Amino acid sequence: MTESQEADRARKDVPPPHGGTDERSTLLPFLGYLREAVAAKAEGVDPRLARRPGVPSGTSLLGLVKHLTAVETHWFVRTFEGADVPMPDLGMEVAEDVTAARVLADYREACRRSDEIVAGCPDLETVSARPAGQAHVHRSLRWILVHMIEETARHAGHADILREQADGAVGR
């Protein structure tokens, strides 16, 4: 396969997961699919372009990934598990000394930790150890999973647009 053909293949969208036969085996693959879509948009882009805001609000590709890393930690580690960790910075500013590779590695580690927490909980009805969110209430693991699918999907769409603005890359 030529380099051009490989590049074309890499740009093609990856179909969504087939899903499972129950709630857990449906929700988790969809969340993983969306997480990987976000990571794929931030990989391989010039680090200067990944940091550049694509909209007046200042949102950048790396900023989105940093934000989603914090959201994973907030909902799964701090809120659901109740770990004694500080409230993560949900902002989208990435310090100049933090590399794109570090931002992506942190995101993947946060997702791995979130998956570990979910795997350790046998019942999606289990409620969080801490109240959280604007309503400041305890949420079920089911609610957190659905919220994370919604949050990640919304930002995956933003990442699509930011990546296309950055270097013209489209598709997954």
Cα–Cα–Cα angle for 54, 51, 103, nearest 5°? Answer: 130
CATH code, 131: 1.20.120.450
pLDDT at 10 over 80: no
Q: Does 7 map to a domain?
A: no
Supply the pLDDT for residue 16: 86
**8 band by pLDDT with thresholds 50, 70 and 90:** very low
Q: Does 160 map to a domain?
A: yes
Q: Does 149 map to a domain?
A: yes
Residue 75: CB atoms within 10 A of its CB come to 25
If one counts the domains in the chain, the total is: 1
pLDDT at 38 over 90: yes
Q: For 155, phi and psi rounded to 5 degrees?
A: -75, -25
Residue 137, domain extent: 26-167
pLDDT at 14 over 90: no
Q: Does 21 map to a domain?
A: no
Cα(160)–Cα(164) distance, rounded to whole angstroms?
6
Token readout for 163 is 């990546």
Q: Does 69 map to a domain?
A: yes
Cα(172)–Cα(140) distance, rounded to whole angstroms?
31
Tens-digit pLDDT profile for residues 97-138: 999 999 999 999 999 999 999 999 999 999 999 999 899 999
Q: Does 19 map to a domain?
A: no
Token readout for 89 is 């910075």
Q: Does 33 map to a domain?
A: yes
- For residue 127, the cross-strand partners are 140
Cα(38)–Cα(34) distance, rounded to whole angstroms?
6
Q: Does 71 map to a domain?
A: yes
Tens-digit pLDDT profile for residues 60-83: 999 999 999 999 999 999 999 999
Q: Do 53 and 171 contact (CB within 8 A), yes or no?
A: no
Cα–Cα–Cα angle for 143, 13, 46, nearest 5°? Answer: 95
Cα(154)–Cα(158) distance, rounded to whole angstroms?
7
Mean pLDDT over the full length of the chain: 92
pLDDT at 12 over 70: no
Token readout for 136 is 């400041």
Q: What is the mean pLDDT of residues 92-101?
A: 95
